[in-house]
Amino acid sequence: MDPQWTDHAALRGRQRFPDVDLVAAYQSARPAGRATKRQIRIQCPRAALRWMRGWRGRYFLVTKDRIVFVVKPPGVVITVFRLEAASAPQPSSRTPP
């Protein structure tokens, strides 16, 4: 099933992913897990406040290339962005006793 796109999502898709077939990416996307949602909160705190606060019927789909679709029922894409790879934990500079 092809998604419906808001004007905002269509514009962001063209701006951010000019060489990606976003319909195919959407069809291959899977629901975001807990760890991915945590990364969205960290990298997009303003969007997280807007889209993640309480259940408003919105959900996230994520591709293997970390393209995130914010979707509201019945399959309307609100916006699309790329989630940056989580940074690796930095080794501690403390030496063990």
Backbone φ, ψ for residue 30 (5° rounding): -125, 155
- Angle subtended at Cα 24 by Cα 19 and Cα 55, rounded to the nearest 5 degrees: 110
Instruction: Say what the pLDDT of residue 62 is.
Output: 94
- The backbone region for 88, taken as left when phi is positive above 0, alpha when psi lies in -120 to 50, beta otherwise, is beta
d(CA 1, CA 94): 53
- For 16-70, the pLDDT digits (tens) are 999 999 999 999 999 988 898 888 888 887 766 666 665 566 788 999 999 999 9
Instruction: Say what the pLDDT of residue 42 is.
Output: 86
Radius of gyration of the chain (CA): 16
- For 78-88, the pLDDT digits (tens) are 999 998 876 54
H/E stretch holding 67: strand 67-72
